[in-house]
Amino acid sequence: MSVPLHLYVREHDTLVRGTIPGGSAANVQSLPTEAFDAIQALLLHKGSDLNPVAVPTRAGGRDALKLTQWVGLLRAPDGTTVEVLPKTHERPGGRSVAGSLERSRALLLRMLAATDERFRVAPPAELDATRMPLYEVVIRYVLEGIKAAVRRGIPHAYRAVQEERAGLRGRLNLPRQVRQPPYRAHLLHVEYDEYLPDRAETRLTRLTVERCQQLTRESSSKRLGRELLVALDAVPSSRNVHQDFQDWRLERGHPHFAPLEGLCRLVLYELNPLVSGQTAQAQALLFDMNRVYEAYVAVLLRAQFPELRVATQVSGQALGHVHGAKAFMLRPDLLLTLPDGQVIIADTKWKRLKPESIPTYDVSNADAYQMLAYSHVFQATQPPPDRKLWLIYPRLPGLPEQSQSIQLLGGSTLHLLMVDLDAPTLPFPLSLITPFED
């Protein structure tokens, strides 16, 4: 039995159907024909939420998919797995450096752990998740999350039980008892409520563990799965996944089970090729790095500057009006409110800047125009010296920690901020009132 292909690529790489054309660059990777067709059908399906993940193109006369900023996992029915990792945090050509793959995977896991509750409970350190395929890492995160919840107690609920027994328990079911034949008169039809772990949340959890057992090839994950199945031995598997998710209701005494809903959905929907009843369906577990980076920066800002009120994706404002209707809607990534009520507008950009392009480092004109529009609407009541705008980029080698402030028309000041993604906190010494001293 042949081992399924496991391919490592980076965001913005190109996947080619079949053999790689001669002389292709490192960012062009080939996929078996059947695997390519299945993944293309999934990503380009009109009803799919994954349309921005890849763009159809041609390479060397063959069909190809140009990946975008989405990272994560793609898995074909034949077991071919494409692991898409971030690369924007590296200089061009950085993938050839030893350890680049592990650093990219570690960065992604660290950002997900900070921004996605499904990845809060990490695998044990000795497992070295950065050297495991991302597919196995995700499964292990799921099992570790379930393990943490089960240790704190399995939710129970009262269930109505009807049975025929020799002794009285609960209340007698008189309508059935009066119809009892004489040769069974010594047995009683009773009704009672029993406190059981059989409820929607636990049924889905058990089914999730069973699916993880089927999906993983890691011996330690299989062992952990068996341990969890023993702990959930009194719980039957879910037979109606959709209905049980609708019935997911947790009482006050079981808040520790709340994060498991996201984990169960991840396995039973995103990693399960049988949800739609088609065994030929490809699987995808993907994350938009624009959104992940935005959420990660917001988490760092809230942790480092607790006096700041950080709002994300603020909507409702527009640049203009047409006959009373709003036109050109605005939605800045971050709206930072200072203790005195003034605001700083910030946009996170998961893009590479060019250290050699001083003084603006190749910031696009469109991004600068966008920030000026934000300032015009959200900072209209602030005097020009206090109209501060931030563009926040990943820091690359050769870029300064601080940029020169850029004076825009109307008195707004644009600051380019660089985030060191290897640091646990924001590396630049920001003041809440004056980000940089010129």
pLDDT digits (tens, 9 = 90+) for 142-200: 999 999 999 999 998 888 888 888 888 878 888 888 888 888 888 888 888 888 899 99
**For residues 92-120, b (16+ Cβ closer than 10 Å) or e, as one string?**
eeebeeeebbebbbbbbbbbbbbbeebbe
**Cα–Cα–Cα angle for 159, 165, 169, rounded to 5 degrees:** 55
CA–CA separation, 423 vs 306, rounded Å? 18
Is the pLDDT score of 364 beyond 80? yes
Is the pLDDT score of 289 beyond 80? yes
Is the pLDDT score of 252 beyond 50? yes
Is the pLDDT score of 436 beyond 60? no
Determine the pLDDT at residue 237.
93
Element at 66 (helix H, strand E): strand 62-67
CATH 3.40.1350 fits 305-419, yes or no: yes
pLDDT band at 224 (very low <50, low <70, confident <90, very high): very high
Determine the pLDDT at residue 297.
93
pLDDT band at 276 (very low <50, low <70, confident <90, very high): very low
Q: Is there a contact between 15 and 43 (Cβ–Cβ < 8 Å)? A: no
pLDDT digits (tens, 9 = 90+) for 61-86: 888 999 999 999 888 888 888 999 99
- In this structure, what token pair is assigned to residue 3? 């081992």
User: The pTM is what?
Assistant: 0.83
DSSP 238: P
Determine the pLDDT at residue 120.
80
- In this structure, what token pair is assigned to residue 364? 């696009």
Q: Is there a contact between 140 and 168 (Cβ–Cβ < 8 Å)? A: no
Nearest to 263 by CA among 154, 147, 151: 147
User: Taking the CB of residue 369, how many other CB atoms lie within 10 A of it?
Assistant: 11
Mean pLDDT of 402-407: 79
pLDDT band at 94 (very low <50, low <70, confident <90, very high): low
Determine the pLDDT at residue 277.
38
Cα radius of gyration rounded to whole Å, the chain: 28
Q: Report strand pairing: 28-31 vs 14-17.
A: parallel
CA–CA separation, 68 vs 70, rounded Å? 6
Mean of the per-residue pLDDT values for the chain?
85
Domain extent listing, the chain: 157-196, 305-419
| Amino acid at the residue 77 | P
Phi then psi dihedrals of residue 308, to 5 deg: -80, 140
Least confident of 43-52, 99-108, 131-140: 43-52
pLDDT band at 2 (very low <50, low <70, confident <90, very high): low
CA–CA separation, 70 vs 86, rounded Å? 8
Q: Is there a contact between 408 and 385 (Cβ–Cβ < 8 Å)? A: no
Most confident of 38-47, 91-100, 297-306, 393-402: 297-306
CA–CA separation, 55 vs 70, rounded Å? 12
